[in-house]
Structure 1
């Protein structure tokens, strides 16, 4: 042989491309059984997210990435990234080099990660998650722990109305101040739905990135 498995530069370029698409954006699972995502009919260039209890919120479409998974967990993100790598120029390169399998590991934090491994030859096979694949935590369900109850939000508390249209007489700072409570509540709701309580309660997740 020629002494190497594959040109790592091709793999690095593919992985960086996937990471760049996901970086600093809100990841919305399109196969979630407790959350529906669609284009807003009322506000242009926004996505409307509907959770259980018919609670709705709006997020600018440019700040989001629609991911074809049920939950934005490290496990399912690993499979998604695996597929994206195989769809890139790295896929044909792996096949040409007769690489048997590819493994992707997603780290949530130091010491906490999940891996997805599959045969390169399996790319293109159907991987649709069954409809019974339930989410770790419905976005409107209260938790049993007293500590979690303080940070969880019931359907009554989480009724987030779309922000009012801007008024000329109001300054930008006043508009931001008026929208802040609803935005924070909606942001926490989406995090709980996508990540589950434990991940959503991490210190860096307690405030919107805006």
Structure 2
């Protein structure tokens, strides 16, 4: 008997999120604030279920969109960045890198449990969030989950999570 392997892929126009960010790099430097029209691509590998599919495309699109909607039209800030301080103060978020300081309305920010708002770390965040959502809402854990985050045409990063 052949060893069968199955994969499904979801990438749609509604899995695009437009967000602002900046990253620290080379330990002491910090980019200027800018934004991207990000696109998420999800791949799931696993066995076929009783319906003869890996997972329901519609449910996967919905779960992914719930996550990307939280990022859409927000300033993304990394909570665990050693070089950028992020403080929530009432209805605002104060951010500091060396002598530079920014103040954003809290409702316009999303503070992420990552080290930097790079495409790689965003793919990790989306992947972990999606695994949690699939487990909680569908009692499903894929063998392999791949998340690709494209920040501009031809420029993307992928994170692979294995169960």
RCO (CA 8 Å, sep 6+): is it higher in 1 or 2? 2
Paired with 1:7 and 1:52, the residues of 2 have a C-alpha distance of 47
Runs of 4+ in 1 over 6 A off after TM superposition: none
Correspondence for 2:107: 62
Q: For the aligned residues, what is the CA RMSD?
A: 1.8
**Structure 1 segments unaligned to the other structure (5+ residues):** 122-210
Go from structure 1 to structure 2 and tell me whether the alpha carbon gap of 1:95 and 1:102 turns closer, same or farther (over 3 Å shift): farther
Q: Following TM superposition, by how much is the alpha carbon of 1:2 offset from its aligned partner in structure 2, in angstroms?
A: 3.2
**Matched length:** 114
Paired with 1:57 and 1:80, the residues of 2 have a C-alpha distance of 24
Paired with 1:93 and 1:46, the residues of 2 have a C-alpha distance of 32
Q: Deviations over 1:109-154 (max 9, x none)?
A: 11111111111x2xxxxxxxxxxxxxxxxxxxxxxxxxxxxxxxxx
Correspondence for 2:95: 49
Question: SS at 1:27's partner residue?
Answer: strand
Counting strand residues as a fraction of each chain, which structure ranks higher? 2
Q: Following TM superposition, by how much is the alpha carbon of 1:57 offset from its aligned partner in structure 2, in angstroms?
A: 2.2
Paired with 2:57 and 2:107, the residues of 1 have a C-alpha distance of 31
Aligned pairs for 1:1-210 (under 5 A) are 1-40=50-89, 44-53=90-99, 55-88=100-133, 90-91=134-135, 96=140, 99-119=142-162, 121=163
Task: Flag the structure with larger Rg.
Answer: 1
TM-score normalized with structure 1 length? 0.50
Alpha-carbon contact 1:75-1:114 (below 8 Å) kept: yes
Paired with 1:59 and 1:99, the residues of 2 have a C-alpha distance of 37
TM-score normalized with structure 2 length? 0.64
